[in-house]
Structure 1
Amino acid sequence: MNARIGVVVMAGALLLYIVLVGQRAYVLLTGGDGIGIAMGAALVVLPLIAAWALGRELWFGWRAEQLGRRLESEGALPAEELSTRPSGRPLREEADALFPAYRAAAQAHPDDWRAWYRLGLAYDGAGDRRRARQAVRRAISLEAAQRRG
């Protein structure tokens, strides 16, 4: 739940940024000065990029949560219980010990979105957020291809 609150707060802050930058862009574009018009045009592009990035991240989070719920309903989430720090994050040493099994499963079944999602959870538990996101993105694309397929 805390993650959702964080997402809402960050999305609201980004929306406020987009509105304020959009207002400044309008002022610069209507000012008539060549440099101001160029700066206003640049300020139009920045909020568009920000909105695209926000949409992409929200879509990723929504799809990842859907797949997690689906795995949970199938009883296919990892069953290991890891000790956690006071922050709630798993102890990295324990996660590192479990990681090779999940990597081997994903390598043995490269078209199985479930294996890739579990690998993403293992990467996250080991503290490697970049690879965790890559693995979950792959799981999302494999599941979407399977659904279409």
Structure 2
Amino acid sequence: MTTVQSSARKTLVLAAVLTAGVVLYLVLLAGRAFALLRSGETVGVVLGVGVLVLPFLGAWMVITTWMSGVRVARLAQRLSEEGGLPDVSDLPRRPSGRVEREAADAYFAKREAELAQAPQDWRAWYRVAHAYDIAGDRRRARDAMKRAVALEAEERNA
């Protein structure tokens, strides 16, 4: 098993454990909501309805997060099979393990240049998302990864 596969397996196990915890919390929360609804008091019923919304909202968030993770994992698997997964193992790191800022900026500049050459290639968007991530810009990383997922789906369906 490669280091990437081992890391992916650990991440998957952690995600499953955290999801189980959230599901347990949502079930307990739903139980409290039904107890409030059964109270028969106006305030209790109103609070029960309000609390009952939270498990549904939480379930939606868990499902969409897992679906996103599955899509990104599919892209990572394809890139791995093609030999194109980003490798930052040679970049200098801080004691915390994060890539040093100057190195992350230089890495990003290379990925951005690749994207400029192939703006409709999901692989370039995946690499740019990864570059944003190592630079610490999670919002842009998510946006770029969404673009990569959409382009890959278009390619697969074409």
Q: Same fold (TM over 0.5)?
A: yes
Checking the alignment, whether the CA contact within 8 Å between 1:117 and 1:139 is kept in structure 2 is yes
Match of 1:113 in 2: 122
Checking the alignment, whether the CA contact within 8 Å between 1:99 and 1:119 is kept in structure 2 is yes
Unaligned 5+ residue runs, structure 1? none
Match of 1:127 in 2: 136
- In the alignment, structure 1 residue 55 sits paired with structure 2 residue 63: yes
Aligned-pair RMSD on alpha carbons? 1.8
Task: Report the 3-state secondary structure (helix = DSSP H, G, I; strand = E; otherwise coil) of the residue aligned with 2:44.
Answer: helix
1:130 to partner: Cα distance? 1.5
Checking the alignment, whether the CA contact within 8 Å between 1:92 and 1:127 is kept in structure 2 is no
What is the distance in 2 between the residues matched to 1:31 and 1:141?
A: 48
Q: Which runs of 4+ in 1 moved over 3 A?
A: 84-89
- In the alignment, structure 1 residue 15 sits paired with structure 2 residue 43: no
How does 1:1-149 map onto structure 2 within 5 Å? 1=7, 2-79=10-87, 81-149=90-158
Calculate percent identity across the aligned residue pairs.
44
Match of 2:4 in 1: none
What is the distance in 1 between the residues matched to 2:116 and 2:58?
A: 35
CA offsets per residue over residues 4-38 of structure 1, 9 Å max, x none?
23312321221111011100011111111122111
Checking the alignment, whether the CA contact within 8 Å between 1:113 and 1:140 is kept in structure 2 is yes
Cα pair distance change 1:118/1:54, threshold 3 Å? same
What is the distance in 2 between the residues matched to 1:62 and 1:3?
A: 12
CA offsets per residue over residues 53-108 of structure 1, 9 Å max, x none?
11111111121122112111101223553233455433332111111121132233
What is the distance in 2 between the residues matched to 1:26 and 1:78?
A: 49
What is the distance in 2 between the residues matched to 1:118 and 1:11?
A: 27
Unaligned 5+ residue runs, structure 2? 1-6
Cα pair distance change 1:3/1:135, threshold 3 Å? same
Q: TM-score, normalised by structure 1?
A: 0.89
CA offsets per residue over residues 104-127 of structure 1, 9 Å max, x none?
322332221110001011111111
